[in-house]
Each structure stands twice: as C-alpha cells, then as structure tokens.
A and B are shown apart, each in its own frame.
Chain A
Amino acid sequence: MKLELLLILILFLVGFWGIVGKNNIIKKIFGLNMINAAAVILFILEGSRSGADAPILGKEGLHIVDPVPQALMLTAIVIGVCITALALALAVHLYRVSGSFDIDRIRDKVHNEN
C-alpha cells in the first residue's frame, strides 16, 4: 500500500512540475493530465481495499471492489477529457495569435497588442 501511494505521489509531483516548471503550454497541459491521472488512481486504489472482484449485481460475493469510487472516477475522467480538449483548443488559438507555445513569449506578444 505504501509503495503504491509513493508512486502516485511521484506521478503527481512530475505532473505538477510540468505545469509550473515548463514554459511550453502543451507540456503544461500534459502535466495537468498527469495530476488528474494521479487523483484517479488514488480513488481506484481506495476502492480496491475491500476486495478485487467486479461489482456486478447477481454475482454476489463479499470480495467486490467498492463501486462508488469507480463511478466517481468515470465522471472525473470525462471532465478531465473535456478540460484537456478545451485547453488544447485555447493553445491552438494562442499559437495562431502569437506563433509560439512558450507562455512568456505569448504573454509579451499579447501584452503588446492590448
């Protein structure tokens, strides 16, 4: 359990570093995806503490996973996809305006135009 948590933490930190440390906005969006994935895995791990069987009605067994986290994460993944798609669309628009994916150069360019 401890090892899995450590791996999740590393995944989260790598993603966070991507968002904050990288200037390329595409890499920032990757980073956002990674921290989102880390949160999803954390929930799934929590659900698996009660058992490992699929929670299907009719196949009653005591060792099923907790279905609530799985249902939640399905929603969270869908939201994550929406946000990624939207962020990429904004990135394309910013690239068309500024000719760059670098956040500082975009800011300079946009600042001069306003």
Chain B
Amino acid sequence: MRTEDLVFMTIMLPLFGAAIAFFAKAFPKGSLTSKILEYGGAVVGLVLPWWALIQLFGPVYQGESFSGVVGGWNPALGIFYRFDGLSWLIQLLGYSVGLAAYIYSVGAGPRGPAFTGIFLIQTAALSAAIITTDMFNLFVCLEVLGVTSYVLIPTSKKPGASLAAFSYLMVSASAMVLFLVGTYGLYRLSGSLAYSEIASAVQGLSGTDHRVYLMSLVLLVSAIAIRVAVMPLYGWLPDSHALAPHAISSVLSGVLIKTPLFALSRVLGLFVQGADVGLLMSYAGAATALVAVVLALSQSDAKRLLAYHSISQIGYVVTAWGTAISIGANTQAGLVLMTAAYLHALFHAFFKGLLFLSVGTTVDLAGERNVYRLRGAARYLRAGGDRLALTFVTFLVGALSITAIPPMNGYISKNAIGYGMKGSFLYLFLTLAGVGTVASFIKLSRIYWPSAATREEKSVEPAAEKGNAGLGYRLTAQFMLAGICVATGVAFPQVLDVTGRLLSGGQVLKQPNLYGSATLLKTFYTALAGVGLFMLIQLKPMAHILHVIRERPRSFQGLFVSFSLATAALALWLLY
C-alpha cells in the first residue's frame, strides 16, 4: 500500500465505519445483526485508523511530509492536502479521546446506530480538517464538524441542550457564511483555493486589493475563532458543553475546539500578516484564560463549571499558539512554544475528557448536579455499584492534572508554556488563571467531601439503577484516560522530544528544565494562593459577587453583538 493511501485511510475508515453503522438501522432495533453492524462500524472507524497512524509515525518522525492533489487531479481544479507531524499529532488527539468517549457512551448512552454513525462522521471531519490545505475544503470540514455537533448536543434529551444547539447553530452557521465570503475574496484575488497559491498571490498587493485581502483574512479568522471560543466569542460554549451527553462533552471540549485552531495555524503560517493575527489572538487568549476562570469559579452546575474551564484552558493554548505564530512558527523559540501549545491542547483533551466522564458518572449516580448541594458523592458511587469509589480516584487524577500538580501531565504542559512565555506580561495573566483553577477545583471536589447532614437524611438510592447500566464501560474509559494522564506526565522527556520533532520536521528542540526548584516553588505558591482564594470566596460578600456573575443576563443577541465587535476589532488591528 502506498503511504498516500494510508493518509486517506484516516479519513475514509471512519466514513466507511459510519456507513456500516447506518446499515444497522435496516435491521430490527436491538437484534444481534444490528448490534454487530453498529459495533463493527465503530471498530472500523475508531480502532483501525490506529493501524494507519502507527504506520505513518515512522516517516513523519523522520521529518517527511506527504502533499499533493487528492486523487491525482489537475492542480488547477484539484484539492491540495498535506500530511505532516502536525496532522499526525492532531489525529492522535482526535482518535484517542474519540475512542475513550465512545467506550464510555456504550455504557452511559447515547446509544444506537444513528449516534455511532454521526460520531464517526465527526471523527472523519476532524481528521480531514487538519490534512486539507484547500480553503473551500476547510470550509466543508468545519461545516461537517458543526452539523455533527448540533446533532450530537441535543442527544442528551434535555430541553436546554436543544436551545444551546440552536444558538450555537445560528451563530456558527452565520459566521461560516462570512467564512465563505472571505474565501470569495481570496479566490477573487488569487484565482486559487490552495493555501500556498493564495499566499504567494497575495504578497505585494497594494491599495484596494490589499484591503480586500485583509478583510477576507479577518472574516476567515473570526469564523474560526468562534469555534475555538476565545474571549468575546465564547458565549455559545458553556451551555452546549454542559448540557450535552457526558461522552460528547468530553469530545467537544477535548478535540473539537482545538482542531480548527491548529488548522488555522497552517493558514497563518503562510500568509503575510499571519504574525499580526497571532499576536492579537495571544492577547485574546490571555484574557480568555483569566476571565473564564472567574466565570468558572462562580458556577453552581458541576458540568458548566468544567465547561468554563475548557474556555480558560483553551485560553492558555491560544496564548502560547498566538505568541508562537507572532514570533515565527519556524524559529527555535516559536517551535518550543508551539510544542507547548500543542501539548497543552493534547493534555487538556485527556484530563478534561477524564473530568467530564468522572463528574458525569458521579452526577448520574447521585442524581444531583449542583456543587453547593451535592455532598458525600463517594457514598452514591458505592451505592451505584462503583464499590471502591474508583470514579473518585479518576476525578482526582483529572483535578490534579488541570491544577498542574506534579507528576501529572498538566504540570508539564503548563510549565512548558511558562518556560516559552518567560518575560512576557501575558504570562502574568496565565499565572493568575492558574490560581483561579486551583480554587475552583477545590470548590468542585467538595462534592466528594463527606458531610454529616446528607449522610443521614437522604437514602442512597436515587438514579442508581439508571446510572448503574454500563458502569464497566464507564470505568474502562475513565481509567484509560487517567492512565494516559499519569503516563504522559511521568514520561515527559520522551513526550516533549517526540512532539518537538514532529512539529519541527525532525529537529531536536531544546528541552525546558521543568523540575527546577524555581518551577516547583512557583507551583507550590500557586496552589497556596488557590487555597487562599477558595477561603476568600467562602466569605459572604464574595459569594454575593459570584452569584451576580453567575446570574448575569445572557441573550441570543449577545452572541451576535460580540461576534460583530470581535470582527471589527480584528479588522481595525490589521488595517491600522
């Protein structure tokens, strides 16, 4: 088999699996044939691509990359693609979290051939979005990603989830129309849709043409920024991620908000003014990290708290990513930062996926999602069949990772970002956000604290029967992710080395010293400050402020106002 065919396997296998899964609908619901087809499709779509990824690792590790025109078409008409280390890494992210989430959903729901099929189509689109280097093809991939998430979010059958999906659909579909207009602008200027040809055509433009080019770039970037949920554009995320089924939450937070970002880095790396966009995005990212953590701290719903943390953590990623692009993604410093940004995206996918699944299991078994009311959750876990309260252990791994406590993987990636950002004022924002993260995870972990009041008054039966179904699958998925969190944290020199080589095309990057006394001391102070902040928000006036933040009015129009403002700000930034 040619290596080029292996590359397309990563897209075709999930699509083929989806087709098999949809076939299951031709057979009676619950029959053996239907089950075999559904799970067979899932194996084809989520397990077999691993074989292709393993085969492809060798060449990309040596710095090779594969590019060309899909199907050997005439370059004037065909679609260009490129498979390199970045594509490999993003696919690793998508397939690992996707597989764990799917295993969890087998136990916890949603189930059924339609769900499996759509889940697999989403995976295929993720894979395609990072391989394509054609502007219109990227549009199609982003639309497919969007459509599948609008379908998957309401599968939790909560009315709020339908509203969240509707709001997300409206704002994101409108933004994608603007993406199309941006594509139009670039096509008009260059007569091509391939990134590289557009990039060479737009060099040295002046006058009106230059302004058309800049406006097109603005429209493309802001449409993608909605998907990534950076600061002014995050409004759609908390509800949709909090109300989606747990398995879908973990994929949405873990994979779906990051793939467009790294797909964008392909575009920005080629274009003039890409560096300016990167710089503005890094400011937006730092603001995102800090503001979202304050919002997270104020939440009362356990999953919504996690959803706000996704925004905050993507802020870290965007800050490092933007800075890397602004100093040049091919320089040594840029590559070190890009490696850190990617690693944080990857590790966040693991630990946030893990947190969503663990908290999901807990709130299902306890029948209560409010962090102020739920106490002694370990008892519900035991009553629900998780006799050793293993879910608490996996939650703890996730919480220690996100708060950057060694030796978990969060410690590695956050400090790698810190190493790369040293001396930048943006790093101050990230440090403060780190303090907020510690405080809000102490707040969240209170759901497991034993409490004398609840111990007596509530009999521990509610929701136990419903949640008990498929506990084995749930725990398998949780332990899979928890194991990865610990392993990637412990084996960090190798992880850093491999990621650096893949992103730089085979170079060996300088490794940051992550266990220096200064770094460890900083971690200690951050944790200490987090505990202090947690104590502080227990006070009456602080609790009142948080209540006001939590109940702030949110509207549908607000999503569009913030989108328009962000687009205008980006346009002003580039034009002047």
Q: How far, in whole Å, are A79 and B136 apart by their CA atoms in the complex?
A: 12
Interface residues of A: mostly helix, strand, loop or mixed?
helix
* Minimum-distance CB pairs A-B, first 4: A97-B159, A39-B180, A90-B166, A20-B560
Which residue of B has the minimal Cβ distance to A92?
Answer: B162
- 12 residue pairs of the A-B complex, CB under 8 angstroms, read A32-B177, A36-B177, A39-B180, A42-B184, A46-B188, A68-B187, A68-B193, A69-B187, A75-B136, A76-B180, A83-B150, A94-B162
Are the CB atoms of B184 and A39 closer together than 8 Å? yes
One of B92-100, B167-175, B336-344, B470-478 at the interface: B167-175
Shortest CB distance B93–A (Å): 25
Residues of B within 8 A of A (CB): 77, 136, 139-140, 143, 147, 150-151, 154, 158-160, 162-163, 165-166, 169-170, 173-174, 177, 180-181, 184, 187-188, 193, 243, 555-557, 560
Are the CB atoms of B160 and A114 closer together than 8 Å? yes
* Of A32, A69, A98, the contact of B170 (CB 8 Å cutoff): A32
Are the CB atoms of B159 and A83 closer together than 8 Å? no
On chain B, the residues within 8 Å of A36 by CB distance are 173, 177
Are the CB atoms of A93 and B162 closer together than 8 Å? yes
Are the CB atoms of B166 and A19 closer together than 8 Å? no
Shortest CB distance A52–B (Å): 18
Are the CB atoms of A82 and B177 closer together than 8 Å? no
On chain A, the residues within 8 Å of B166 by CB distance are 25, 87, 90-91, 94
Most buried by A among B158, B160, B188, B555: B160
Do A20 and B557 contact each other (CB < 8 Å), given the known contacts A36-B177, A39-B181?
A: yes
A 72-114 to B, binary, CB cutoff 8 A, 1 in contact else 0 = 1001100100110011001101100110000110110111011
Which residue of B has the minimal Cβ distance to A66?
Answer: B191
Shortest CB distance A112–B (Å): 10
Are the CB atoms of A83 and B147 closer together than 8 Å? yes
Q: How far, in whole Å, are A77 and B23 apart by their CA atoms in the complex?
A: 27
* Of B147, B174, B180, the contact of A82 (CB 8 Å cutoff): B147
Shortest CB distance A51–B (Å): 15
Shortest CB distance B164–A (Å): 9
On chain B, the residues within 8 Å of A82 by CB distance are 147
Are the CB atoms of A32 and B163 closer together than 8 Å? no
Which residues of A in the span 8-37 have a Cβ within 8 Å of any Cβ on B? Answer: 16, 19-20, 25, 28, 32, 35-36
Are the CB atoms of A107 and B177 closer together than 8 Å? no
